[in-house]
Chain A
Amino acid sequence: MKKSSTINNSYTYGFHKPEKSSFKTPLGINEKIVKAISAYKNELLWMREFRLKALKIFRKKNMPSFGPDLSKLNFDKLCFYNSPSSGKFRKWSDVPKDILDTYNKIGVPEAEKKFLAGVEAQYDSEVVYSNLKNHWEKLGVIFTDMDTAVKKYPELVKEYLGTLVPLDDNKFSALNSAVWSGGSFIYVPKGVNVPIPLQAYFRINAKAVGQFERTIIIAEEGSFVHYIEGCSAPIYTNDSLHAAVVEVFVKKGARVRYTSIQNWSGSVYNLVTKRMQIEENGVGEWVDGNLGSKVNMKYPALILKGKGARGELLSLAYAGKNQYQDTGGKAIHLAPNTTSTLISKSVSRNGGRASYRGLVKIAKGARGSKSHVRCDALLLDDKSRSDTYPVNDVQEQDVTLGHEASVSKVGEQQLFYLMSRGLNEIQATSLIVNGFIEPIVKELPLEYAVELNRLINLSMEGAVG
């Protein structure tokens, strides 16, 4: 009986390049370090004040009172800013060789040519490459890194920054606000439809470095945009921290889909705050794939602000050995006739733990609103664990609220059935798992769907004797 898992071996993105920094802060976080980051970035006073105010809140705030144990996360041993290169480039040929190699290995430049409207690549703290195809630029679409946006479009940034995720929302959103660097800024003008996705690729390369990107998406009336982010990191024994803040604004009749495939290595704490505000008849969608990281806390929120707004969350979590995926989502209904659908699927194996944590709130006045929550968990062995923590807060009478939850083990009957057709136990288990997550995988862009299936299949090998 082989009992060892090959999940670590199957992590294809575990390689790392030598660290070359053009600017790196000492370990730990304090006022001096925050000021140094701001100064290095040549920021104006308003942004420096924003950071310093956030730092004060970060210090006062307690760690989350729920979910995974974060006590091993040591802020004194982390580097909060590491700039890998002194430039941002619009051509891959200008990107420093080590960094370019990394993105070539991950396949980013190739994907850009084939099926993306624009790409941004962040390496540790800074965006090293960003490019939007001309056609979209001419239509007034903005797709750039957040630092550039602060300088080029300060009024636009000021109007939205921190309005959905206020500084004092939680400890990690405050931390992000104090030391943020990089991230995407997307603006889609009224009526503009960007039918092919914009993609950002986040990579942590250096050891024990925190990545704190900040992303804002603004989709004006009747526009459409699909944004995809992918994340990976080398395997280190020292922990890294990724604490992003994402704010998405979906205006009247607009639609935004935000697809995220988090495949951090097993040494990364992923503690992310994501929110989307949807106005009248707008549509907001989160497609949230969580495969990697050591500890993951992520609950993308849909704030249904205008009447008839619709929101959807598809969340997938895979918890393998030494992984704790605490994921889920929130739907806040603030206006009449709003609808939300939260669908979550988790797979736990080899001692992994996956939790669904969800909130549905229907405020007074949100008459005729509907919410449907469904969470399914699949356990592959007795060592693994799954929990659900759903909360409903309904303050209006005329609403529809549905909640379904299931926890299942890979059934003996299903295994026997598939094996009776000549498939071995690994093949049969992989089929069952892939079938289980199919409703979410089918929503992913093809190359991610293929990658996801490959990952799941690899991580099954050697799992059963």
Chain B
Amino acid sequence: MKKTLIIENLHVRTVEGKEILKGVSLIFKQNETHAIMGPNGGGKSTLAQVIMGHPGFIITKGKILVDGKNITKLSPDKRAKLGIFLGFQYPVEVPGVNFANFLRLAVNENKTKDEKFSPIAFRNLIKEKAEKLVFSEDVTKRFLNEGFSGGEKKKAEILQMSLLKPSFAILDEPDSGLDVDALKYISKTIANLDFPVGLIVITHYQRILHYLRPDFVHVLINGKIIKSGDANLAKIIEKNGYEKIFNN
């Protein structure tokens, strides 16, 4: 049976009381690729963060289910262990924490004692994966996101995903601020992942979808999914803008 991630009538507000999501329902299956598009401030990033369990948002109604299990109240680490991954739009810098050591710790969390990676084996594995993403410096020697360029941060998120092997990956604008080459490396890495994954890609642009070929495209405006469709919807949006869809 394929794994499912179900968002059911989700209502979310900030701690300060601002209502952001006003009843979002979506069904994601493993091996499917979904794109979520929509104008700025529509609630896309909030949806991503709420699925991962960000403590700064309050769910007032609705629930999130992974394979039927209600994860709405779980902490982010427990959601990660159930196979959810969030690729951040703006990954934070964590000074002094070595990228490879951190990622090894995270990857080994879900492994039995015999399966755990040794530091050397893991470094080699990272280097192999990192090669395809073309980092300018040896990422294993650097601190987590510290001093990374915008493009390197995005690449590092994808690198983490490729090693953590989640069942569902929400990628929050993995393409923003990338040059043409970086976009190509990232898209190819995502398209050629060596494990089954349900992708939920938040984006403003058609170009990454050209590589990822979404099965579904959803438009989130003002806290609501106002339209869902296939890959063609993204093309229409690029041509006509959101306003036209919203007004229909």
Contact = CB atoms under 8 A, between A and B. Distances in A.
A435 B54 CA distance: 22
A439 B96 contact: yes
A437 interface: yes
Contacts of A32: none
Nearest to A421: B106
A345 to B, nearest CB: 10
Contacts of A423: 77, 105-106, 109
B56 A412 contact: yes
Given A418-B102, A420-B52, A420-B80, A411 B92 contact: yes
A424 interface: yes
B143 interface: yes
A427 B96 contact: no
Contacts of B55: 412, 416
A438 B178 CA distance: 31
A419 B76 contact: yes
Contacts of A425: 75, 77
Interface string B106-121: 1001100000000000
Contact of A424 (B77, B85, B143): B77
B56 A431 contact: no
* Interface-centre pick from A417, A420, A431 (highest chain B CB count, 10 A): A420
Interface string A381-422: 000000000000000000000000000000111101111111
A423 to B, nearest CB: 6
Given A427-B105, A435-B143, A417 B94 contact: yes
B94 A431 contact: yes
B75 A419 contact: yes
A438 to B, nearest CB: 3
Nearest to A413: B92
A432 interface: yes
Contacts of A432: 94, 97
In this complex, the interface size class of chain A, counting residues with CB under 8 Å from chain B, is 20 to 34
Contacts of B160: 421
Interface in A367-389: none
B132 interface: no
* Interface-centre pick from A416, A423, A437 (highest chain B CB count, 10 A): A416
Given A425-B77, A427-B105, A420 B95 contact: no
* Interface-centre pick from B52, B86, B106 (highest chain A CB count, 10 A): B106
Contacts of A160: none
A422 B110 contact: yes
Interface string B76-99: 110111000110100110111100
A448 interface: no
Contact of A435 (B76, B97, B110): B97
B91 A420 contact: no
Contacts of B143: 435, 438
A25 B77 CA distance: 58
B96 A435 contact: yes
Contacts of A438: 95-97, 143
A232 B21 CA distance: 56
B98 to A, nearest CB: 8
Contact of B76 (A416, A437, A439): A416
Nearest to A442: B96
Given A421-B80, A421-B160, A438-B143, 13 more contacts: A416-B49, A419-B75, A419-B80, A420-B52, A420-B77, A420-B79, A421-B77, A421-B103, A423-B105, A423-B109, A434-B97, A435-B144, A437-B96
Top 10 A-B pairs, shortest CB-CB distance? A435-B96, A438-B96, A422-B80, A435-B97, A419-B76, A421-B106, A419-B77, A422-B109, A420-B76, A413-B92
17 contacts: A413-B92, A414-B92, A414-B94, A417-B88, A419-B80, A420-B76, A420-B88, A421-B77, A421-B80, A421-B103, A422-B77, A422-B164, A427-B105, A435-B94, A435-B97, A435-B143, A435-B144
